[in-house]
Amino acid sequence: MTAILYIDLLRTFHAVVRYGKFNAAAEHLHRSPAAVSVHIQRLEGVAGGRLLNRDNQSSSLTELGRRLLTSTATLLRTHDQALADLHGTNVAGRITLGVPEEYVTHVIRETLPSFTCAWPNVVVELKTGPSPTLREWVQRGTLQAAVIAQPKGDIGPDTKVLMSTTPVWVGPVSTSVALDDPLPLAVHAVQCCYREAMTESLRMTGRRSRIVLESHSSQAVKACVEAGLAVSLIDRGKVTRHMQILEGMPVIPDYDIVLVRSAASSGNEAVELLARAMQSTFRL
């Protein structure tokens, strides 16, 4: 009998990878954790091997899992676009969407092309800024929706969780700059939630620090770390091969990356469609 990759099983697998935990994926999919586990087991039976390494806290991809994730991402997008085409393209409107600079490249490359193809009469306008500023713009009605990072668990009625992320301290691979006193930091511009988490945790532990780089650009922060000039705090999923995760630093709690919507956008079909697209495609 020919093996079949069922869309529901693949969607569950991608959700587990995106959220990193079975319980979080189950909540996103509106299924029980047991049902998610059964889906993964069935998919592993089709794939012919283990897809995820699991423990009580999180899950990580095996080599077979990485191959399946890469080879089925386009399949899921094509499936969702086919459904959108069947529903027609009569939805029209204009959406103002805010995205932090460190996530905007992903949204541009992975979410918007398929969304605008499926809904050509919906115009999306992007603005970038730090998460607290984007939240304020949503509350004022300047933006209809925004992607923001926030401490885990603070979920409001107009908020959809896109994924959870673990911030980690990173330094360069080749130097011991993390031992310097005061500790050199590469930070984002004022109001960045990770900058606040860094400076507050160091203050609480009595560790002296100095700012080597302050920039709106996440690429500049990464370059500063990779060059051996400073340490910083970034999402675990964004650690590059030129960085190392630093041990012995203050522990920073997990964050949720969420999509928040303005009160005025409630019931807006175009915004709801974009929210669904973001949930199905957003990952680090």
Question: What local confidence, expressed as pLDDT, does residue 189 receive?
Answer: 80
What angle, rounded to 10 degrees, do the helices at 33-47 and 22-29 form?
100
Backbone Cα Rg of the chain: 20
Residue 218 resides in a domain: yes
Q: Are residues 124 and 188 in the same domain?
A: no
Separation in Å, CA 103 to CA 59, 77, 93: 23, 19, 24
Q: Are residues 71 and 109 in the same domain?
A: no
Q: Are residues 237 and 106 in the same domain?
A: no
**Could you tell me the pLDDT band of residue 87, with boundaries at 50, 70 and 90?**
low
Residue 204 has pLDDT above 60, yes or no: yes
Residue 118 has pLDDT above 70, yes or no: yes
- CATH number of domain containing 48: 1.10.10.10
Segment 169-179 shows an average pLDDT of 89
DSSP 8-state class, residue 107? I
Q: How far apart are the C-alpha atoms of 148 and 266, rounded to whole Å? A: 18
- 23 touches 56 (CB < 8 A): no
Q: Are residues 138 and 268 in the same domain?
A: yes
DSSP codes of every residue in 10-40: HHHHHHHHHHSSHHHHHHHHTS-HHHHHHHH
Separation in Å, CA 240 to CA 14, 67, 226, 244: 22, 20, 9, 8
Domain ranges, residue 18 = 7-84
Q: Are residues 59 and 118 in the same domain?
A: no
Residue 272 resides in a domain: yes
Please choose, from the candidates 280, 17, 5, 9, the residue with its C-alpha nearest in 3D space to the C-alpha of residue 162.
280
- 161 touches 155 (CB < 8 A): yes
Segment 195-213 shows an average pLDDT of 93
Over residues 7-38, the pLDDT tens digits come to 889 989 988 887 778 887 887 777 888 889 99
Q: Are residues 172 and 245 in the same domain?
A: yes
Name the percent of the chain lying above pLDDT 90: 45
Residue 151 resides in a domain: no
Q: Are residues 80 and 108 in the same domain?
A: no
- CATH number of domain containing 205: 3.40.190.10
DSSP 8-state class, residue 157? T
Strands (E), 105-190: 122-128, 145-151, 159-165, 167-172, 183-188
Question: What local confidence, expressed as pLDDT, does residue 57 receive?
Answer: 62
Question: What local confidence, expressed as pLDDT, does residue 113 receive?
Answer: 82
Question: What local confidence, expressed as pLDDT, does residue 89 receive?
Answer: 58
Tokens of 105: 């490249």
Q: How far apart are the C-alpha atoms of 147 and 161, rounded to whole Å? A: 10
Over residues 120-151, the pLDDT tens digits come to 888 999 999 989 999 999 999 999 999 999 98
Question: What local confidence, expressed as pLDDT, does residue 282 receive?
Answer: 84
Residue 110 has pLDDT above 80, yes or no: yes
At residue 14, φ and ψ (nearest 5 deg) are -65, -35
Sign of the alpha-carbon torsion through 259, 97, 117, 73: negative
Tokens of 56: 């009580």
Tokens of 90: 């009569």
Q: Are residues 78 and 92 in the same domain?
A: no
Residue 181 resides in a domain: yes
Residue 156 resides in a domain: no
Q: How far apart are the C-alpha atoms of 33 and 273, rounded to whole Å? A: 26
Tell me the pLDDT of the chain averaged across its residues.
87
CA 276 to chain centre: 14
Residue 230 has pLDDT above 90, yes or no: yes
Residue 152 resides in a domain: no
Determine the 3-state secondary structure of 8 from DSSP: helix
Q: Are residues 243 and 270 in the same domain?
A: no
Q: How far apart are the C-alpha atoms of 188 and 213, rounded to whole Å? A: 8
Question: What local confidence, expressed as pLDDT, does residue 44 receive?
Answer: 92
Q: Are residues 69 and 121 in the same domain?
A: no
Q: Number of structural domains, the chain? A: 3
Residue 155 resides in a domain: no
Residue 210 has pLDDT above 90, yes or no: yes
